């Protein structure tokens, strides 16, 4: 890779630009809908400048479109590209058709989707270490994208031919809805009479621990709590109290039913007791 440009200075664009620069790649230009965001990111990278989107496309051999899904095709269609130039979006939900305008100008379209929820602000060093990156591109570009993922410390996963919408939905379940679970847990916490201000500090480590367990061992072994223990009475008591917030009770039942798909080693009688407790 020679000269790299980033169009979009949000969380993904910031993390990618800083990670590329950290690994010695030449990130030369940054564009964003908000000029101050582009300037702020450019100041963090030696030799980078804030430019317009078209100037990024003109100056750079590789251009990453780190934009909201709704903006990718529109921005790609507005710009003039050149033959052999790599034009890569970072969307999980979009396929390469979003870059048809670039492909029509003989640019090389690609997708490079990191399966990580990047924080706002500073993503920290080695932000892509251990991250699976969904790769989709033609034969001229895909080996380079795979090599790039590896150079960042990530793991390339070819997603050509996958249903991108369902692929992205899987990512939403694992990331966005983990936050929704913390929100539900906070609601139950406050219903218990505990201070809301203490909820995140108390409950977020539980979520982090469960995620770490799931990353290291099969889901059946990562699971803790009343369902894996076969404790139908505790489940029934939970639901009795959660009746005060029917939407929480419904969520508890739905998630519990998903866990019964795991092979937890329960006898048919125990599984039946758990299922009946969830249906009360």
List strands edge to edge, sheet with 26-31.
49-50, 26-31, 3-7, 62-65, 86-89, 108-114, 132-137, 155-158
- Among the ranges given (39-53, 118-132, 138-152, 224-238), the one the predictor scored with the smallest mean pLDDT: 118-132
Question: pLDDT digits over 23-43, tens only?
Answer: 999 999 999 998 899 999 999
Average per-residue pLDDT in the chain?
96
Q: Which of 37, 54, 43 is nearest to 21 (CA)?
A: 43
Measured CA to CA in angstroms, residue 258 lies from 45, 129, 251 at distances of: 45, 30, 11
**Region label for 219, one of left (φ > 0), alpha (ψ between -120 and 50) or beta (otherwise):** alpha
| pLDDT at 89 (0 to 100) | 98
Residue ranges of the alpha helices (H) in 30-98? 35-43, 53-59, 69-78
Q: Please report the DSSP string for 230-269 in residue order.
A: T-HHHHHHHHHHHTTSHHHHHHHHHHHHHHTTS-----HH
Residues 202-212: what's their mean pLDDT?
Answer: 95
Residues 112-117: what's their mean pLDDT?
Answer: 96
Domain 3-162 has CATH 3.40.50.1820: no
| pLDDT at 1 (0 to 100) | 62
- Whether pLDDT at 56 is above 90: yes
| pLDDT at 69 (0 to 100) | 96
Cβ atoms < 10 Å from Cβ of 173: 11
Question: pLDDT digits over 208-233, tens only?
Answer: 999 999 999 999 999 999 999 999 99
Residues 106-125: what's their mean pLDDT?
Answer: 94
pTM for this prediction: 0.90
Quickly state the pLDDT bin for 82 (edges 50, 70, 90): very high
> Can you give the residue ranges of every domain in the chain?
3-162, 173-279
């Amino acid at each position: 890779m020679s000269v790299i440009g980033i169009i979009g200075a949000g969380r993904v664009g910031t993390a990618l630009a800083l990670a590329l620069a950290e690994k010695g790649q030449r990130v030369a230009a940054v564009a964003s809908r908000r000029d101050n965001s582009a300037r702020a990111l450019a100041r963090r990278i030696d030799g980078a400048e804030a430019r317009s989107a078209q100037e990024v496309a003109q100056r750079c051999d590789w251009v990453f479109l780190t934009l909201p899904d709704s903006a990718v095709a529109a921005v790609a269609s507005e710009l003039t590209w050149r033959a052999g130039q790599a034009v890569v979006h970072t969307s999980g939900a979009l396929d390469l058709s979003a870059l048809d305008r670039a492909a029509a100008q003989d640019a090389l379209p690609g997708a490079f989707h990191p399966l990580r929820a990047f924080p706002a602000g500073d993503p920290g060093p080695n932000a892509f270490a251990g991250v699976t990156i969904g790769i989709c591109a033609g034969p001229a570009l895909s080996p380079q994208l795979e090599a790039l993922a590896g150079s960042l410390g990530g793991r390339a996963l070819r997603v050509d031919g996958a249903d991108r919408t369902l692929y992205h939905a899987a990512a939403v379940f694992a990331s966005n809805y983990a936050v929704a679970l913390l929100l539900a847990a906070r609601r139950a916490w406050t219903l218990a009479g505990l201070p809301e201000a203490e909820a995140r500090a108390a409950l977020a480590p539980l979520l982090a621990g469960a995620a770490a367990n799931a990353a290291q061992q099969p889901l059946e072994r990562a699971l803790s709590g009343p369902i894996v223990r076969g404790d139908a009475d505790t489940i029934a008591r939970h639901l009795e109290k959660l009746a005060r917030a029917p939407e929480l009770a419904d969520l508890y039942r739905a998630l519990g039913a998903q866990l019964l798909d795991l092979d937890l080693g329960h006898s048919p009688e125990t599984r039946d007791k758990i299922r009946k407790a969830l249906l009360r």
